[in-house]
Structure 1
């Protein structure tokens, strides 16, 4: 395109005039560019006109040039002058003319000098030229401008025509594109449909190819597992891939049972899975036998405990690990059946995997038992020899510690080999249940039967106190401490084994020992006359003058509380129930014998004395435990420290009615010892079994107190009525109570108060009866 100079070309015409001093103060208005100077210097020299260089003039349009863009409206005049100067320079070929400014001023007239143009040889200059030539010469510059403008107009018209043509072409193209788009819309829709169909077919082909993979894999895996050297696959990484692929194929055939021949392929894949797992089991068993053949003779020949431990655990694990991928493949199969904590992963192939894993576990335990049984048997024989003497308790402690350490070592080895920790679980399908079911193996991380059998054999002939000491030590050593958050694995394992050892074996064994002792020393205690008395209290011990079976019952209560947790000493313990029922039966027989012999012993006071001791001990065991450092006799007879709570829980004994209600609320202070199972001989109709042992104790105590206070209240009332012997009766009552309850002033005071209340109640009853008789006589 053309520059702006083509359209806004203004020639630069400037005339420099000499201004006088008189014109310097005007309005400075610019003069016309065509006005001739009206003054001529006096000293100006007149020179002849130069020849017109018409040959050098070129009427062709000038070359397009880049005109300097004006900065503002005031700068437009300067830009025009610069453009004219540039064009003149091109036209003259770059020749510099003298007095350029004056020449440019009158260039339109072709006069070289304005001052010398007035006269040439004393003739007028205008007469030398023709009028047409002057006009042509004066308008030559403007003709050039006219031609340039005409050419610019032609260019603009050409541009307009080209623009119109381009717009018409674009409109035509737009119409063509619209037509093409209308024609190709249906084609595009068809193409989209074809692409969608192609995608569907491709997806279908992929699915079909995937499904065919589950069918085509059968031949490959059949050749690999039936090859002559298939047994070596279990020591290769490819065996794990085979198991994964068989798993996938079995799951696919199970899910798509409607596919063609799916049942047949499923049966064949399951058979191949069983064969692969059998190869793995055989390979692992061979590795176990090889390791056993290496370490077994060395263990038997070694005399050092540390050397045997290093061979049995460190060297054995090292020999099993000397393979490429046998142990990883075994762990993979184990983890397909169980998680890392030993819980069963129930799935479509759980039965197949679990059968193989259980067989592997059985083989492992058999090898370990075969290698270590001689050493463990030797330790058990040493324990039996040591337990024959008086050191049964330390021997039992050493055996428990030794077995717990070995069990923990075996559990760690088992966890490292199979990547499964056999945590306690009651589910028979778990790893713990599988190991627990194998009771024949002595070297088993969860089997405690060998320990329990040896301990029970050693504790069978010893005293009940020794048995309770062993049971109490195990409970306090491993169950009682409060472990912090940083509990070690060994302490956790020992606590678990101790809990199982006690709950499954030793507690039942101890209960049987207590029942035997109760039957021997309480239920079958002889009734001799010398034992049916109330002797004096010795050394301030309240139970020192108790009935011997009751005294033994108190000792057994304390002993049972010391070796058992509180949960087993409360509510439905069969030992406590048998102890209470047999003690109450013995006391009733003793009371009946005292009454039949008519001895000097007060039968009611005899019952009160022994029943209060028994009840006080029951309350003490319910509220707090007895310290094991206190001897049983001292702890039982130091005093009736809970008598106040027992007595205050009842109504005040101020009347005979209150005496009858004595101890009515005491049953809440002691456990309700119910018979855990009705007597089979009575068909569940036994009265002793239907009523709580605590209620029976309360009834007997209430009856004895009522009988004692009523009889002595009657004696006091009779002495008061006769008016003599009151002091003698009260003195006799005081001596009797002091003999039975020496040092127990609270008990003596309460019983005396009850006797006085009974005597007062009898006096009131007599007065009321007389008053009623007088009223009846007056009416008659």
Structure 2
């Protein structure tokens, strides 16, 4: 099956050299391994027996199987070539000759055979050997295979022994090298630590060695050219890194000294940037100022002041990028201040850059601004201050928008409103000039006030009202443009910072002039008839002026500033009440035929109705009569329970609400509230209750007295006619007021009569 030369066994035999030539056919695996076979040893084949039919008990004829390719193929060959198949093929090939060969009588092989001995016995051994020849071959093959397997087992055992020996050797080597490995690991760790330490030392050393380099560069004769180069940004970055390192490690050698020197160098570098920017501004301004002075066209001036100026500043390599880099270290894109190291140095430089830029713009645009201001003042004198003010505000808002756009393009920053003193907004706002820039609105307010001061108060109110409705009231049907948003912001600042305070002062001056200091005239104390159905037509003149001022204030201010707790509204109401008190004090000793209580009720109701109108809606859209009387009356708690109302005027009553003292002063431990601390509406309510109580009580007593006299019916009719005439004169177009007052008088008289146990006739 296999060549013996494949295995290194002791029983291998050497091949005959003479047989190595020829066809070079390998020795058969079926050859017996016990040496070279001799010719005499060959087994004689037995003569074939001729039988008619194959005996099923006859052993199968042996055949030679094909040589196996490998040892593992041996069993497959055996299964593929069973003995029965070989025997059947041989019988099939010689089927026709068997019958004749069976009849042939073979001569005895040896003459020594005894004729008397049966031939089967003589040939029994040979037959047995011949029949078992194939099985002997298989036995030999199995024996050969067994020897091969034994050899493999021995070789495997030897290999396992060698491997075990190697494993023991490796273990011994590993045990011997473990200490060496740990030493190597310690050396590697130490090497990494030293390398890291060396890197750190080298990095730290850079922050010290950079000082000489940057000092030479910033002190060189051509250092000013660095601001227009990209290397300037690198210098600032390195200086920031060095300052941060020295600040972080104050314990290092000479850290404080190096920190101070680096900060000084940073200041010097930023100063070079300021000088370079100012030089660029001066150069651009010199070219543009001549051209602006030479032209007379407004469009050409606008193109030079903005378009050409922007081109001249942008015509540089890295100057503006370096400036933007410095500004970004101090402020964000909306001008809010940043925090961090050296931010004070950068912020100071940024503010200096802003002031230099604004100063240049003032110098360049001053001729244009002066002409616009002169034209505005001439229009205010010749035409109308109100129209001139509107045109001037529009013109200033347009210029402010263009200045803001130019500022944003140059510095990539849009300063938003901020109250922080460190913000860019406050830095620009602090620049004092007559130029209207993107932030400063003081020049607009200054020019407007110079024209509105000599004008009437109504002109200022109309201008403020126009600005409020034109710019502050948003139109939600359209998208807000950047220009509209800018105008709204300027208007809000212009009103809150300047014009509202200016208008409040103008109102206070007008109040003092037309209400507080007006002398009491006797003829003005009479209550005349109502003219054209207007309730305020027969009011006291200071009260009429108070109504006009309230109307003006409502038209010029948002509703948030027109509430009853507004200082101006409070002052108007307070001074009107004081004027009524002076008129009442003068009216009582005079015999003018005017009831002082009715005089107070008439004027106080008009004033109260006006305040309610201001709080509810637009007074101009309301009926000129006493449209809010029902609401006022209900608030005074008169119409709900008049008997209880009149009886509540006992000292200590709770009707004097909101801390207002009753006729008896402060009771029940409740302190009286000073008039200056009271709400304007509270003061009116208190005074109105007093006047209504006094009037209804007095006339109720008159009716009771007229009823109790002789001929009381005639006296009562006369009293009622006199009361009716008085009420109709004061409230001719207000029947509701007359009815309420009559009802109050009747209820008061009835209450007094019930106390006396008598019945009073209805009025």
| TM-score range normalised by the length of the shorter chain | 0.7 to 0.9
Q: What is the match of residue 645 of structure 1?
A: 631
Give aligned pairs, total.
Answer: 692
Deviation track 1:704-730 (CA, whole Å, cap 9, x = no partner) reads: 222222222222112211223222211
Structure 1 length as normaliser, TM-score?
A: 0.81
Give the root-mean-square deviation of aligned CA atoms: 3.9
Unaligned runs of 5+ in 2: 4-27, 33-44, 114-121, 661-671
SS at 2:584 equivalent: helix
Q: What is the match of residue 710 of structure 1?
A: 697
CA distance in 2, matches of 1:154, 1:465: 134
Whether the 8 Å contact between 1:6 and 1:152 is mirrored in structure 2 is: no
* Structure 1 residue 294, shift from structure 2 partner: 1.9
CA distance in 1, matches of 2:252, 2:693: 90
**Structure 1 64/697 Cα, relative in aligned 2: closer, same or farther at 3 Å?**
closer
Q: Tell which deviates more after alignment, 756-765 or 349-358.
A: 756-765
CA distance in 1, matches of 2:51, 2:376: 147
CA distance in 2, matches of 1:442, 1:697: 48
**2:384 aligned with 1:384, yes or no?**
no
Q: What is the match of residue 268 of structure 2?
A: 275
SS at 2:382 equivalent: coil
Whether the 8 Å contact between 1:717 and 1:763 is mirrored in structure 2 is: yes
Q: What is the match of residue 429 of structure 1?
A: 422
> Which of 237, 241, 250 matches 1:244?
237
> Which of 185, 196, 204 matches 2:197?
204
Q: Tell which deviates more after alignment, 267-276 or 714-723.
A: 714-723
Q: What is the match of residue 223 of structure 2?
A: 230
Q: What is the match of residue 187 of structure 1?
A: 180
**Structure 1 710/143 Cα, relative in aligned 2: closer, same or farther at 3 Å?**
closer
**Structure 1 654/363 Cα, relative in aligned 2: closer, same or farther at 3 Å?**
closer
CA distance in 1, matches of 2:51, 2:80: 22
Whether the 8 Å contact between 1:234 and 1:329 is mirrored in structure 2 is: yes
CA distance in 2, matches of 1:558, 1:664: 34
CA distance in 1, matches of 2:398, 2:162: 100
Q: What is the match of residue 535 of structure 2?
A: 542
Q: Tell which deviates more after alignment, 733-742 or 137-146.
A: 137-146
Q: What is the match of residue 258 of structure 1?
A: 251
**2:731 aligned with 1:741, yes or no?**
yes
Deviation track 1:285-332 (CA, whole Å, cap 9, x = no partner) reads: 111112112222112222222222222222211111111111111100
* Structure 1 residue 127, shift from structure 2 partner: 4.9
> Which of 687, 692, 698 matches 1:700?
687
Q: What is the match of residue 101 of structure 1?
A: 90
CA distance in 1, matches of 2:413, 2:321: 13
* Structure 1 residue 182, shift from structure 2 partner: 1.5
Q: Tell which deviates more after alignment, 618-627 or 506-515.
A: 618-627
CA distance in 1, matches of 2:401, 2:198: 57
Q: Tell which deviates more after alignment, 535-544 or 590-599.
A: 590-599
* Structure 1 residue 79, shift from structure 2 partner: 2.2
**2:19 aligned with 1:32, yes or no?**
no
SS at 1:388 equivalent: helix
Q: What is the match of residue 116 of structure 2?
A: none
* Structure 1 residue 142, shift from structure 2 partner: 6.5
Deviation track 1:490-540 (CA, whole Å, cap 9, x = no partner) reads: 222211111111111111111111112112211222322321111111111
CA distance in 1, matches of 2:757, 2:66: 164
**Structure 1 486/255 Cα, relative in aligned 2: closer, same or farther at 3 Å?**
farther
Deviation track 1:93-113 (CA, whole Å, cap 9, x = no partner) reads: xxxxxx98259999xxxxx97
Unaligned runs of 5+ in 1: 36-57, 86-98, 107-111, 673-684, 770-780
Q: Tell which deviates more after alignment, 690-699 or 401-410.
A: 690-699
**2:196 aligned with 1:165, yes or no?**
no
> Which of 449, 467, 474 matches 1:481?
474
Q: How does 1:295-444 map to 2 (within 5 A)?
A: 295-440=288-433, 442-444=435-437
* Structure 1 residue 368, shift from structure 2 partner: 0.9
Q: Tell which deviates more after alignment, 712-721 or 233-242.
A: 712-721
**Structure 1 147/394 Cα, relative in aligned 2: closer, same or farther at 3 Å?**
same
SS at 1:371 equivalent: helix
CA distance in 1, matches of 2:86, 2:245: 96
Q: What is the match of residue 753 of structure 2?
A: 763
Q: What is the match of residue 35 of structure 2?
A: none
* Structure 1 residue 358, shift from structure 2 partner: 1.0
* Structure 1 residue 241, shift from structure 2 partner: 0.9
CA distance in 1, matches of 2:306, 2:186: 70
**Structure 1 269/690 Cα, relative in aligned 2: closer, same or farther at 3 Å?**
closer
Q: Tell which deviates more after alignment, 748-757 or 302-311.
A: 302-311
CA distance in 1, matches of 2:686, 2:596: 16
